[in-house]
Amino acid sequence: DVKVTQSSRYLVKRTGEKVFLECVQDMDHENMFWYRQDPGLGLRLIYFSYDVKMKEKGDIPEGYSVSREKKERFSLILESASTNQTSMYLCASSLYPTSGNTIYFGEGSWLTVV
C-alpha cells in the first residue's frame, strides 16, 4: 500500500512564526501536492511538484513556499504564519498521470495560528 505520511498531525503556532509542514511518501512518486481544506471551500491547491526541485504554484500560493530536495519529501513552509492560515493541510502524491493517475493522500495536519 502507498503510504503518505505527514509527520505533524496537530500544531499550534503563534502569529509571525515560521512553520514547516513535512510530508513523505514511500512509493517513488514523481508528483506531490499540498492542499488546504476549509469548511465550505473544499480542497484548494497551494503548490505542487512534478519532480525533484521542480515546483509550480497552485490556486492559493500566497503566504506559502515549498521545498522538494529529495523525491520522497515535500515540505510546505509558512514564512510568517497568520491567523487566516489556520486550516487543515493535506499532502498527496501520485505517479505521472500517464503512468498511474490516482492521487494518494496523507492523514492531514491541523494547524492553528494564534
Partner 1 sequence: AQTVTQSQPEMSVQEAETVTLSCTYDTSESDYYLFWYKQPPSRQMILVIRQEAYKQQNATENRFSVNFQKAAKSFSLKISDSQLGDAAMYFCAYRSTGANSKLTFGKGITLSVRP
Question: Which residues in this chain contact partner 1 in the complex, by CB under 8 A?
Answer: 31, 33, 35, 40-45, 48, 50, 56, 58, 88, 90, 92, 96-98, 101-105, 107-108
Cβ nearer to partner 1, comparing 17 with 110: 110
Cα-trace Rg, the chain: 13
Phi and psi at 66, nearest 5°, equal -140, 165
C-beta of 7 vs 80, nearer to partner 1: 7
* Closest distance of CB 109 from partner 1, Å: 10
Min dist. Cβ of residue 80 to partner 1 (A): 26
Cβ atoms within 10 Å, residue 73: 15
Return d(Cα 68, Cα 53) in angstroms, integer.
5
Q: Which is nearer to partner 1, 57 or 70 (CB)?
A: 57
Q: Helix, strand, coil shares of the chain as percentages rounded to 5?
A: 5, 55, 40
